[in-house]
Amino acid sequence: MLHYVTTNPGKLHEARAYLGDDTVDGYDYDYTEIQSESLETIAAEGAREAYREVGGPVIVDDSGLFINAFDGFPGPYSSYVESKLGIENVWELGKTVDDRAASFRCILAYCDGEPVAASPDPVDRDDRAAAAAAGAGERYQDDEPLPVKLFVGSVRGTLVAPRGDGGFGYDPIFEHDGSTFAERSSEEKNALSHRGRALAKFADWFDQR
Ligand code: ITT
Ligand code: NA
């Protein structure tokens, strides 16, 4: 069984909706989030620690909201900002600027202790950054960090006043295609979202291993 290591039930719910309850189970463990501007680095280190904790294949999910007018804030600090400010106050900040464009990003980091083959032809900037952060392409040896494979998804949207009861986190203030993510079912959100896109890349790779 593959374990989705997270303290966030919303993430787990979406992962299980996408991958199926037979493929993935939750594992509630608060791995160390290293100080970094890069979600890729945070996720890769988290996956190594989670693998050592669980002792079997794991995915960790590091994600966040990036507001264009604020140079990507709260980004890697999204969890901290949500708990200290709350999403209502993030909207209060967002509505002070004309440009309300934002995006969500999700990095899934998979580790099963096995060496990871280098991606032969990185197709986009995200994949190259992901490969570099994961150290893909280097031969794995015992004294080197555990290999990690990264899958990246992002989605653009607009900050709006909170609407909807579904989803979690910043979903009520993130509008995409006329509805907020909190106004969609998990399946509808997965079909569009940063996490859904990263899960799709993961599932393609996982099924073809
Ligand atoms: P784990 O680290 O235990 O997985 P976490 O909630 O602390 O759980 P992160 O460190 O990745 O996760 O923080 C992500 C933040 O971004 C957090 O405030 C989430 O609520 C928010 N977030 C992530 N994905 C989201 C989504 O799909 N919709 C809305 N908010 C999201
Ligand atoms: Na966290």
What's the maximum distance between 2 C-alpha atoms anywhere in the chain? 52
Q: Which domain holds residue 59?
A: 2-208
> Using an 8 Å Cβ cutoff, are 57 and 202 in contact?
no
- Domain tally, the chain: 1
pLDDT for position 131? 60
Residue range 103-140, pLDDT digits in tens: 999 999 999 998 766 555 444 555 556 666 665 544 44
Measure 166 CA to ligand 2 centroid, in angstroms.
20
- Protein residue whose Cα sits closest to atom 16 of ligand 1: 64
- Complex ipTM over 0.90: yes
Which of 13, 34, 49, 63 most suits a substitution to test ligand 1, by most atoms within 8 Å of the C-beta? 63
Query: CA 154 to CA 103: how far, in whole Å?
Result: 7
Ligand that comes closest to the CA of residue 190:
1
Query: CA 30 to CA 126: how far, in whole Å?
Result: 26
The binding-site residues of ligand 1, defined as CB within 6 angstroms of any ligand atom, are: 6-8, 11, 30, 61-65, 78-79, 82, 104, 167-171, 181, 193, 195
The CATH code of the domain that includes 68 is 3.90.950.10
Residue range 63-106, pLDDT digits in tens: 999 999 999 999 999 999 999 999 999 999 999 999 999 999 99
Name which of 118-132, 140-154, 176-190 the model is least confident about: 118-132
> Using an 8 Å Cβ cutoff, are 176 and 167 in contact?
no
Measure 76 CA to ligand 1 centroid, in angstroms.
10
